[in-house]
Structure 1
Amino acid sequence: MEDTLTMRRATASEATRVMEILDDGKRSIARFGIEQWQHGYPDLASVEQDIALGACHVAATAAGELVGALALRLDLDRDYAASGIDWLTANPSEEPVPYAAIHRCATAEAALKRGVMAFLFASAEDLARRAGRSSIRIDTHPGNLAMRSFLAKQGFSELSAFKLSTKGDAETDIVRIAYEKLL
């Protein structure tokens, strides 16, 4: 990417822009003909919750333009705890957890193929290490071939399929593939 990027926590005033980036991601996923993110989730309320928890991070250009976003959670992920997956790190059902989890990640359409997501993931790894986590977990839809390829290139191990708990939306295709990367 020709522009220097920084990753920082999103502010409450940036929630709408983060949602616009996630909407770009929704349109990208729709091209695969899968249901992931096509029925309301993620929505502005989930972005606002991530921001309030300090979990929403953005990639910003030197000019201040937000070109990517992800949620980096350091708390217990209930879907992962109940998944039955043989994770690479311990899978506790309560705090503390040895992993960080990436959710709701997307690149602005205008910044695609410019290294934004790789930058965000590398920055998230640094944050997770500093927080004492020994791995990062993520999941994606089996049909999201672009994300699956990206995760493999980033050094994530594909582990197993599992079903998400419902998110309160109309999505019925809730099978996901779990990935984890040791830090």
Structure 2
Amino acid sequence: MKQKGSQQWQDGYPFEKTIKNDIAQGYAYVVTLEQEIIAYVVISHKEEPTYKEIKGAWLNNEPYTVIHRMAVGEKGRGKGIASYIMDQAEEISMEISIFSIRVDTNFDNYVMKHILEKKNYAYCGIIQVRDGEREAFQKNLR
């Protein structure tokens, strides 16, 4: 991310403890290529505390899926992996009758913001996370 000019995740985040917790809670997903992990994401149906307050407004207050910590490694870049992950999150969400997805990203994470635009996510406002503000997005699936 630093090479792409983003300030997001420049303090060692996501921490090993965070990833272990993702796995323990069953929210961690990976994409593999030739038995090598090339991408990681959290797809959670648990309410996100940092989404309770927003400078702006969410599209609705229905139950939602959260996408966090999406990272595509160098071997996965340029292969549409991020779009594939977003599609999978939608399928997983709809399978359990949740028809809304929320996600946030740093103001300078232009790659993620491009993906969100391409996947028709609506900009909803600004939220506060542990290390600063993030732009928040939502998509209704019905």
The question of a shared fold, defined as TM-score above 0.5 by the shorter chain, is answered with: yes
Q: Name which of 176, 179, 182 aligns with 2:134.
A: 176
For residue 72 of structure 1, what is the aligned residue in structure 2? 43
User: Where does structure 1 lack aligned partners over 5 or more consecutive residues?
Assistant: 1-28, 91-96
What is the alpha-carbon root mean square deviation over aligned residues?
Answer: 1.5
**TM-score, normalised by the number of residues in structure 1:** 0.72
**CA contact under 8 A between 1:135 and 1:182: conserved in structure 2?**
yes
Q: Name which of 84, 90, 93 aligns with 1:125.
A: 90
For residue 99 of structure 2, what is the aligned residue in structure 1? 134
Runs of 4+ aligned structure 1 residues displaced above 4 Å come to none
For residue 99 of structure 1, what is the aligned residue in structure 2? 64
Residue 101 of structure 2: SS of its match in structure 1?
A: strand
What does residue range 1-183 of structure 1 map to in structure 2 within 5 Å?
Answer: 29-61=1-33, 63-90=34-61, 98-164=63-129, 166=130, 171=131, 174-183=132-141
The amino acid across from 2:22 in the alignment is D
**Aligned-partner Cα distance in 1 for 2:100–2:139:** 5
**Aligned-partner Cα distance in 2 for 1:114–1:59:** 12
Greater radius of gyration (CA): 1
**Aligned-partner Cα distance in 2 for 1:128–1:108:** 24
Residue 84 of structure 2: SS of its match in structure 1?
A: helix
The amino acid across from 2:135 in the alignment is I
**Aligned-partner Cα distance in 2 for 1:45–1:136:** 25
Number of residue pairs aligned between Structure 1 and Structure 2: 141
User: Where does structure 2 lack aligned partners over 5 or more consecutive residues?
Assistant: none
- The alpha carbon displacement at 1:143 in A equals 1.1
Normalized per residue, which structure has more helix?
Answer: 1
